[in-house]
Chain A
Amino acid sequence: MKDIFKEIVEKKHYRFISGENVSWQEAVRLSAETLVADGSVSPDFYKQIVSCIEKYGPYVVFDYNVAMPHTTENADGAYKSAIGFMVSEKLIDFGCDEDGEKKEANLFFTLSSASSEEHMENIMALSQYFMNEDLLNALKKAKSGEDILAAAAAYPCEEE
C-alpha cells in the first residue's frame, strides 16, 4: 500500500492550527493551503469542496472526528493528486447530519484528485487509516512532520 504520510511530509502538505474561532469553511480553506503552495491545486479549488458540503451536508466527516473534504475527480484547479493533512487543536463544527448527529473534525485529509490511479491509491490507503483509531489518536497529537511519520510507523495498518 502507498505510504501516504511519507508523501505528505516530503511535499510539506501538512499544517497545524489552533482551530480557535475557525468555521468549517475556513478550515477547509486552510487545509488546502499547503496544496496551493506547491501548485497542486488552484487557490480557488477549496471553494468547490465548500459548495459540495453546503449542498450535501457534512457527509465528508467520518468516525473519530476525521474529515476528508473532497470534490469530483479532475475538478477545476486540481492539478495534481494530493492530500492536504491538517490537525486542529479544537474540534471544527461541521453542523449536524440528517439524523441530527453533531459532526466535528480535528483531523483533515483534504483530497485533490487529478489522476484516477493515484486517486484510487489514496482512497485505498485512507480507508485503512480511517478505521485505525490508535493511528488517528496519535496523529491528532502530532506537532511536526517527524511526529506524523512516527505515528504512522507506530500504528501500521493491517492489510487484508
Chain B
Amino acid sequence: MKLDNKKILACCANGAGSSLMMENAIKKVFNRYGIKVAELRHCSVSEGKSAAKNYDIVFCARTFAKNFDDLVKIGKTVIPLKNVMSDKEIEAALQEADLLN
C-alpha cells in the first residue's frame, strides 16, 4: 500500500475537537484497507504549521487549508475535508489522490 509507513497529521483550530474526530475517521479507513502507517496524530493548526514538514499527508477542515499552502508547494499532500468525521469523504479523497493502492 502506498500509505504504508507514511506519517499522517490531522489538524484543527485547537487540536482537541475536530482533529481528533478526523484522526478516528482516518483510522477507520486505514483499518479497512489494512494500511499500516508509521504515525498518525492530531494537533492544532499553529503546531501543525511547523510540524507538517515532517509529515507526508496533512488532513484539515477546509477552513484551515490555506494555512498549508506552503506545504503543497514543496510537494506534500494536503487533504481538506468538508465533514471531518466522515470516513467516506476521507476514503473518497484518498482514492482521488490515488493513495489507496
Chain A contact residues, CB within 8 Å of chain B: 52, 55-57, 59-60, 62-63, 68, 70-73, 97-99, 111, 113, 119-120, 123-124, 126-127, 130-131, 160
Contact = CB atoms under 8 A, between A and B. Distances in A.
Given A52-B13, A98-B62, A99-B62, A59 B18 contact: yes
Contact of A52 (B14, B61, B63): B14
B100 interface: no
Interface of B: 12-18, 20-21, 24-25, 28, 44, 61-64, 83-86
Contacts, number: 56
B16 A73 contact: yes
A28 B64 CA distance: 22
A120 B14 CA distance: 14
Given A52-B14, A123-B17, 8 more contacts: A52-B13, A59-B18, A60-B18, A62-B83, A97-B62, A98-B63, A111-B17, A113-B16
Contacts of B25: 127
6 contacts: A62-B84, A68-B18, A70-B16, A72-B15, A111-B17, A127-B85
- 6 smallest A-B Cβ distances: which pairs? A127-B85, A72-B14, A70-B17, A56-B13, A73-B16, A123-B20
